[in-house]
Structures are given as C-alpha cells and as structure tokens.
Amino acid sequence: MHILCHRGVEYRNKKLGKSEIRLVCATRPHIQRVVGIGFQPGFDPAKIVSASQTGDIQFLDFRNQSDAYLTIDAHRGSLTALAVHRHAPIVASGSAKQLVKVFSLEGDQLGTVRYHPTFMAQKIGPVSCLAFHPFQVMLAAGAADSFVTLYADDSILAR
C-alpha cells in the first residue's frame, strides 16, 4: 500500500507481483499543503490521520467518503510535522513555533512540549520532523536548529 500526498490525500493499493497501481480513494480534506500522514494504530488500513500546514489534523475513514470524522485544530498556521504511533492510540504534531503536542485518537490533548527561555528548562527549536519508537511510547523530535530531542512518559524513565 502506498500513500501519496499532493494537495490532498490519495490511498493506493498495489498488488504484489503486478505493475498496475489502482487508485482506491482520493480526498481533499485540507485547504493547505499536507505535511504529514500516517495509518492509525491497529489493523484497519482504511483509517488514516492527515495534517496540514494550517494546523488542522484530520482523522479519515476511506470507507466513508464524506468529511473527516474528527478534526483537531492543533496549531494555528504553523504545523510542520506529524507522527502516528504504530501501536499506542496517540498522535503527535510539531510546529514552527517551537511546540509539540500529543493527542489521543479521540482528540484529547495529552501533553505539550514547548520552548522555555530559562537556564535549566528544556528547549526545543522549530520542529521539522517527529517519529515515535515503534514499540515504546517514546517520541523523537528533530528541529531546525539541528537538535534532536527524545521524550518519554515518566513511567518509561522510571524503569
């Protein structure tokens, strides 16, 4: 399966052994450039999460060709990265305004990492990419200031 982004979202299913690619579904849930996309955790390949530069995160089910079934206004006009955890029911978004937000699949905000200009505080630059660890609830963030940071839940750090 392949997902291609260009002013919208296309979901393609490529059959193994054949060079034919058939368009399964296409939609345009955003008004600006798509900056991130990922499959939701679980075994349902029709559900994806898509994020646009305007700051909205859309939860889409391609079996239902209408509007998104959930929209999160995560950032105001500065969303630059999206990560969807492979197994845990969470998504993370990053912005050019030095901010990372973590949400549940129901749209509840679970946490925030932001820039603090104090001497001992954690610092984060404008976020350029995000990635979850495939099996643990750990989030890596890459920033425009060339820093890579790793974030984890307190329960993981206590081990």
Q: Splitting the chain (159 residues) into consecutive groups of 10 residues, what average pLDDT does each group show?
A: 44 53 70 85 81 89 79 89 92 94 94 73 81 93 88 68
For position 68, what pLDDT does the model report?
84
pLDDT at 95: 94
pLDDT of residue 1: 38
pLDDT at 61: 83
**Residue 60: predicted pLDDT:** 85
**pTM (two decimals):** 0.78
Element (H, E) at 67: none
The reported pLDDT for the residue numbered 3 is 44
What pLDDT score does 155 carry? 64
**Which stretch of DSSP H or E encloses residue 155?**
helix 154-157
Q: Taking Cα atoms as reference points, which of 99, 120, 126, 119 lies closest to residue 111?
A: 99
Residue 138 vs residues 6, 90, 128, 147, 155: alpha-carbon distances, Å:
29, 11, 17, 17, 11
